[in-house]
């Protein structure tokens, strides 16, 4: 079962219900080597679902002191595909290792080329 690290709107119950048809359960964790900034969302469906025109987005720094808090959710493969559909083109999904050692998927800034293993941050 895949794990998804969310630091933004996928933590909102209304977004979870609209995206997955259920409320997810998860636990708090952190991702090091990244900072959180914002991106303007142009997709009217995503804005309607989240209620926000600006969403958080992660930028890789590689600095071990940079850290983003969020929630790790257990989801199905089908729900991972639904999360892919929800996220706009500004995001790309990558595999990371969280501070707890858990392997998870996370959505980060698609404009950044993270060609090396981001899990070693």
Residue 21 lies in a domain: yes
The model's confidence at residue 114, banded by pLDDT at 50, 70 and 90, is: confident
Torsion of CA 30, 20, 42, 11, to 10 degrees: -30
CATH number at residue 51: 3.10.490.10
Q: How far is CA 60 from the centre of its chain?
A: 13
Residue 117 lies in a domain: no
Residue 107 lies in a domain: yes
Instruction: Specify burial of residue 42 (Cβ count, 10 A radius: 0-12, 13-18, 19+).
Output: exposed
CA–CA dist 13, 2 (Å, integer): 19
Residue 120 lies in a domain: no
Q: Report pLDDT for 30.
A: 98
Stronger pLDDT, 117 or 109, i.e. the higher one: 109
Residue 18 has pLDDT above 50, yes or no: yes
For residue range 20-65, what is the model confidence (pLDDT) as tens digits? 999 999 999 999 999 999 888 888 988 888 888 888 899 999 999 9
Q: Report pLDDT for 52.
A: 86
């Amino acid at each position: 079962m895949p794990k998804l690290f969310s630091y933004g709107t996928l933590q909102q119950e209304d977004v979870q219900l609209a995206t997955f048809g259920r409320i997810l359960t998860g636990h708090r964790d952190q991702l090091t080597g990244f900072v959180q900034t914002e991106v303007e969302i142009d997709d009217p469906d995503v804005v309607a679902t989240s209620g926000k025109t600006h969403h958080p987005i992660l930028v890789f720094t590689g600095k071990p002191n940079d850290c983003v808090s969020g929630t790790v959710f257990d989801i199905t493969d089908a729900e991972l595909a639904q999360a892919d559909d929800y996220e706009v083109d500004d995001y790309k999904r990558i595999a990371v290792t969280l501070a707890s050692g858990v392997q998870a998927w996370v959505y980060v800034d698609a404009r950044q080329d993270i060609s090396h293993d981001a899990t070693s941050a």
